[in-house]
Each structure stands twice: as C-alpha cells, then as structure tokens.
Structure 1
Amino acid sequence: MDSADIDGYTGPWIQFENESKSAKPSAEEMEEIEAFMAKKKRFGKKTEKEELEERATIHIEDVYDYQGRSFLHSPHDLDVSLKADYTPNKCFLPKRVIHTYTGHSKALTAIRWFPRSAHLFLSCSMDSKIKLWEVYKERRCVITYMGHKQAVRDINFNRKGDRFISCGYDRYMKLWDTETGQCIKRFTNRKVAYCVKFNTDEERSHLFISGMSDKKIICWDTRSGSIVQEYDRHLGAINTVTFVDNNRKFVSTADDKSIRVWEWDIPVDVKYIAEPHMHAIPAVTPAPNGKWLACQSMDNKIQAFACMNRFKLNQKKVFTGHMVAGYACSPDFSPDMSYLISGDADGKVFIWDWKTTKLLNTFQAHDNVCISTLWHPHETSKVLTAGWDNNVKLWD
C-alpha cells in the first residue's frame, strides 16, 4: 500500500485474500430457482393447441324436421303465436313451477331468450358450459357448448339468433354458431369482460360491445376480429351496457356508482349521472316499449329511469322489499308492462305492479340466490328463473 512504489501500488481496489469472483448460485438457491421456473412454465402461456379446444355436443336426434328446418326454426303448432310483434293483451302472475331444467353442475350466471320467438333459451354457468334448451314440447337440452376454461360471465344473441357471443373469466370472448356449435372467432384484450351485447341494427349487426374490468367499453367487429371503438370514461369496472333509443344510444353502469349515456360511435358520454346517494347498479333491463330502464341498485331497490328524450330518474317508481345487496340479480318486465319481476339473494321471486310500485306476490323459487328472471315475451304468465342451486325453472 505504499504510494511511492509506482509499480507495486494497488490502491483501495485490491482483492481480498481468497476472494472468488464467480457469481454462481449455491445449491439451495439453485433448487429455489428451478422450482420457480417450473411453476412459471406450468401457469405460463398456453400452447396454441390447448387454446383451440372448443367443442359442442348435440343432445337431440331430430336436429332437422321433415322440411329440413333446424331446431332454430320456431314451431307453428302451439297454442300461442311466437311472431315478433305479438304481445299478449293482459298478463297474469305465475303460480306454480311446471318444469325444472337440470344439467349444469355449478351456479348459473345468465339466461337469455332466443330473439323474436323465444322458443329456446340459452344458459351459462360457473361450470364454464353454455347450454341451449327447449321452452316447449319435451323441454330437452338441445346442445352444450364447451370452450371456456373458466366460469362464463355473460351471453348474448345477435339479432337473428343464428350466432351468439359469450364472455368468461378466462379473458376470452367467443363467437359461436348457435346451430352447429362451432366457435367462429375469439376476441381478447387480456382483460375480463363482464358483459357483452350485440348491436341489433341491421347495418351494425356484426358489431358488439363489451364492458371490461379495466374500466373500458370496447366495440368489436366480428368480421375482422379487431377493435373498432373504445369508450374510456368510467372510473370503475363496467357492470352493464344497455342499448336505448333504437340502438342510437347506449347506457353503461359501473363500479364507480355512475350511469353514463353514450351516442353510438362517439367516445364521449352525452350524459353523466352520479348522485351522492346513488349505489352501484349491477343489472339493468330495458322495458318492452323502450321508454324505461329498470336498474337494480345495491341498496335493495329497483329504480326506474325514463330513457326517451331526456334521461332521468323517476322518483316515484322505486321498487323495494327484496334483498339483493352484493348480487347482480337481473329484473324483467312482463310483455304488457303491467308487472316488474326480480329474484333476490334468498332465492325468492318478487313481483310488483309497475304502475303503483306495490308488491303483489313473492314465492320461494330456488334454494340459493335467484340470479335472473325472464318473462316470456309472447306468453301471459310464463316466467323463467335461474338460481345458484344449478337449476333453471319454468313457472306458469
């Protein structure tokens, strides 16, 4: 360490005695690293082959009738007209269960009528399967669609019913052919979609929108598989998206406890509703006449919003009595607009008078949460309920 010794001076950077410069991990550290890498590989990106495992099982023999029409064709030999413009004059309260559809092994998440005729309905469940059922005659399960790796969150038919879109917690949205069960396309932006809706306009029937967990509403094109528009103004995960005003506008609700109204294809909201007393709205149903929205609020109320020209809350139409806090129980209207129906967290079904908001009837429908209720659009008193006891029930 003598600085006068010019050749032998090492300064402060000299090595320690017996110092080793190799940075190889020890045997213990090596074991840890290998275990971590094996785990990463197991949960890492799936191979292409694993992802392409969509399939469907058809459960009925008579897929085509004597005229070559498939099961998607609505039957004509019933005592009720299934034409699109037919609505019954007077509806009545359902009294008893006439059929129980069993087949799902876990809780149901959504049920949807086949568009226009409603002679079939689609159900999706936490067992990651989607099933199509008959409403009339033998009431069989027609076809089971399997393609999601995790629970299916939402399903929606296009305007004709020959295709439908599904979204699941595996972060995929899939477009299916209803009749053959073939998966036509997959869509993903690596986020979970909480709701999907097709645009039912003739020119825009190839577009659908999805409400995502990353606060965005995304419009997709089913022909190219690409994103067409993003609506990015909410401050929380999107819960529902509902078309109003002949599909010229749509309404979205989110976890930020607000409601936003959008013009189609304009990514800035035209109306924003958020009051200090408002709660999150996890389920919204439009009325058959297109003038009202029934919004299931987390404070155990259903509130009615007028959605014709000025979008505003009707203070007088508030429906209470049921317990839905924490669940997205979707309500529904009777086709003649005289009743409003909803399930609740205890598995009961509640029916209110739409004009007076008076509670008319309650009955126990399921052993667990009754997550969805649907009133048949052409029948006077047929109601479909789906519960977390894995069953769908048809009431009359």
Structure 2
Amino acid sequence: MARNASSPATRNGWRKTRRSHTGQPPMPAMSKAATDYQADSTTEESTEFHGSAETDYLGRTYMHVPQDLDIDLRKEPGSIKNYVPKKLVHTWKSHTKPITSLRFFPRSGHLLLSAAADGKAKIWDVYHQRELLRTFSGHTKAITDTDFHPSGKTFLTGSYDRQIKLWDTEYGKCLGRFSTGKTPHVVRFNPSAENSHEFLAGMSDKKIVQFDTRSGELVQEYDHHLAAVNTITFVDGNRRFITTSDDKSLRAWEYGIPVPIKFIAEPYMFALTRATPHPNGKYVAFQSGDNQIVVYGATDKFRQNRKKSFRGHNTSGYAVDIKVSPDGQFIVSGDSGGYACFWDWKTGKMYHKIQAGGKEGGAVTCLDWHPQETSKVVTGGLDGLIRYWD
C-alpha cells in the first residue's frame, strides 16, 4: 500500500532527506506543503507595463535619459552642491505592503525602482508624469533587497522565497534565477566593469555567495560569519568588500578570495544592519543596532572613526536605510518614528527631521538620495507609500 503523502513517517523521512540532500530535486510522493520552497523556484514571472506609451515618438523606451528637463542628468553625480530637502513634492502609491527597497537608476536617476513585502518590484518615472511604468511579479514572498547593474539595464531582487532573480529593466523579462535554498538578505552587483557580470549575496545561513550571471553558477563562497549577513559594500576601487552580520562583527575581503583580510569584533559593538559608502571612497557608514550611525575607514586598516558618529534617531529593531548625499556633505537615515533625519557629515550635527511616515507615523525604513538633484530624497516604509522630498 502506498503511504499517504502526509503521513508522519513520510514527513519525518522527508526531514531526514532534506537535511542530507539540501537543494536536490524533490523526492516523489511528497505533499506540496512540505516542499513549498522547492515549488517557489517555478513561480512564473510576469510583468505589466502601466505607462501611457511604451515608446516615445522616436521609438525610445523609458530607459532613454530625458533631455527636455531644466537639469542635465548626464553630468557626474556629486558635481553639484546638495541641500537638505524640506517639503513633500510627490507621493507614489501602488504597493500593498511595506516598502523594503528604493533605488534610483544609476547615474541619471530618471527612474526609481521600488520593492516591497508584497513580493513585487516596480519602476516609476521620476520626471514628466511621474507615473508607474512597470510591475515585475515573480516572488511569492516579501522582497528583501534589490540592486541595479551599474549599467542600469538589469537589476536583482532577493526575496524570502529564497530566490534571487535577475530582471531586464526595459522589458521586464526574468533573465535568471539563483538560489542556495537559503534567504538572501542583501544582493550586490560587482560595480567594476570587468566583473559586473558577477554579484554577491549575503544569506540567512551566514554565507556570502558569489554568482556569475552568465553561467548561473555559484563561483565562490565566503563562509566566516557566525550569523545572518546584513550588508555588503564594495570599497577600494571595487577590489575589496566589507560585510557585516548579526554576529556583531565586520569583515573585509579581497574580491574572489574566501579568507577575510580583516576581522573586527569589539565587545561594545552592535549588529550593523545597513551600510552606505561615502562618495570620496574613504569611509563606509553603518546603521548600528544601538540607535547610532558609526563610520569605518574603507582603506587598509578599516578602523572605526571614533570622531564620527551620528545620533538622535531611533531604529528600534528595524534595519533602516542610510545614505550619504552625492556630494558627501550630508547623511540621511530613516527612523522608526516615521522621520527622515539629516546630519552634517563633517560636524555630526543633526540638521533636522522630516515627518516622512504619514499621520500614523509608520517607520521609515528605506530611502535614497537622487544622484543628480540638489536636494531630492525618496523615502518609504511600513505604510507602503513612496514619498518624494525636495
């Protein structure tokens, strides 16, 4: 008699098998629920275009950087002076759950990529009609992180469904799927031209994995952290990267070499949950679990800069985004009370807070600073709305 798929014996047998053959194709005669993460990988990806027209009168899609504006989006980011935004200029609404990631299009910033706990990624027009242009559906659980390829032509999404997907920004097609069977917490393309076909992902099982998007192969594994990995930041001309983890440590690595070149763990350190490099390439700022932002050197010693710490905001357990303005003058952070907080990078003095979480004051967990504008910042958080400030 064939055993019922959900009988305890099969279930226990499945547990044993799963432990010993992680990532193998599912065994026959198993209940769907038992292997739901295996089923996730076959989720059909789909995309929907929402804009008014796919191409303009010259046949160009939304990838074309607009030139009919009073601002030149082709100049070098950080070449103009930045100011702190004061007022709300636009609100985008389409996601049904909290926002988990906001990224401006590389260099020009004429598009905005958002992702949320509803498992969807969306591309928005930052200029002209400011309309929703495209929705990318293909994850069955909340998206944890996104990252644009340096060219902007593709982007990555990582999700709690344990999948990392590579998408075509222009047409919405899913170009690749990557999984180790664990949850990716952070995904980062290698920004350098010669290695931009590779990306790193920091996983819930304390590993950092390196994938090649051309072959789909896992090409390297960095396995020294003792808990889930939170941040990956490329430094030193992209030859190295710094990672932080829930194990309350910071590690620096040579790209491609799976042995850390620096390990920092002090008894007073808290988990560092978010990171942003300073545009001058000398520092990386980290959101620390004790309601402050700490700064470490991005060069040989990777020492903490004791003189620089930014306080006055509250994160209460959320991983809250931070960002340095393109000219390096300001640092901005979200806040669990629904604020966006701005500090002077040099003095560490807080300029002001904007109430950015709506009337109910949901936490602001995501933000990005526009690469080309003087004072435009986008924020998002628990209420699912994306707010644009100037």
Per the normalisation by structure 1, the TM-score is 0.89
Q: What is the aligned-residue RMSD (CA, Å)? A: 2.2
SS of the aligned residue for 2:343 comes to strand
Q: d(CA) in 1 for partners of 2:125 and 2:93?
A: 12
1:365-380 matches, cutoff 5 A: 365-366=356-357, 367-380=361-374
Alignment partner of 2:31: what SS?
helix
Counterpart residue number, 1:175: 166
- SS of residue in 1 equivalent to 2:180: coil
Q: Distance in 2 between matches of 1:122 and 1:50?
A: 23
- Of residues 152, 158, 162, the one that matches 2:153 is 162
Deviation, 1:334, is 1.4
1:34/1:309 CA distance change after superposition, 3 Å: closer
Q: What amino acid maps onto 1:157 in structure 2? A: F
Q: Determine the C-alpha separation between the residues in 1 that align with 2:5 and 2:90.
A: 58
- Offset from partner CA, 1:151-201 (integer Å, 9 cap, x none): 111111111111111110111111111111111111111111111000121
Task: Compute the TM-score of the two structures, normalised by the length of structure 2.
Answer: 0.90
Alignment-derived partner of residue 112 in structure 1: 103
**Residue 361 (structure 2) pairs with residue 387 (structure 1):** no
- Structure 1 residues 64 and 307: alpha-carbon distance in aligned structure 2, compared to 1, 3 A threshold: same
Give the one of 16, 23, 31 matched to 1:41.
Answer: 31
Give yes or no for contact 1:301–1:320 (8 Å, CA) kept in 2: yes
Equivalent-residue separation in structure 2 for 1:242 and 1:94 (angstroms) = 26
Letter in structure 1 aligned against 2:7: I
Larger Rg: 1
**Residues 346-372 of structure 1: per-residue CA shift (max 9 Å, x gap):** 111111111110111012100211002
> Equivalents in 2 of 1:378, 1:316: separation in Å?
29
Contact 1:88 1:379 in 2 (8 A): no
Shift of residue 335, structure 1, vs aligned partner: 1.6
- State the identity as a percent: 45
2:264 paired with 1:273: yes
Say which is worse superposed, 47-56 or 64-73, in terms of deviation. Answer: 47-56
Pairing partner for 1:343 from 331, 334, 344: 334
Contiguous gaps of at least 5 residues in structure 1? 1-23
Structure 2 residue 185 is matched with structure 1 residue 194: yes
Whole-angstrom distance in 2 between the partners of 1:84 and 1:277: 42
1:198-277 map, 5 Å: 198-277=189-268
Q: Once the 2 structures are TM-superposed, how far is the Cα of residue 92 of structure 1 from its aligned partner?
A: 1.6
Higher relative contact order (CA 8 A, sep 6+): 2
Structure 2 segments unaligned to the other structure (5+ residues)? 12-28
Alpha-carbon shift at residue 80 of structure 1 (Å) = 1.3
Pairing 1:71-150 to 2, within 5 Å after superposition: 71-150=62-141
Aligned-partner Cα distance in 1 for 2:259–2:300: 18
Return closer, same or farther for 1:31/1:137 CA change in 2, 3 Å cut-off. Answer: closer
Helix, strand or coil at the partner of 1:181:
coil
Q: Distance in 2 between matches of 1:364 and 1:218?
A: 38
Number of positions where the alignment pairs a residue of Structure 1 with one of Structure 2: 368
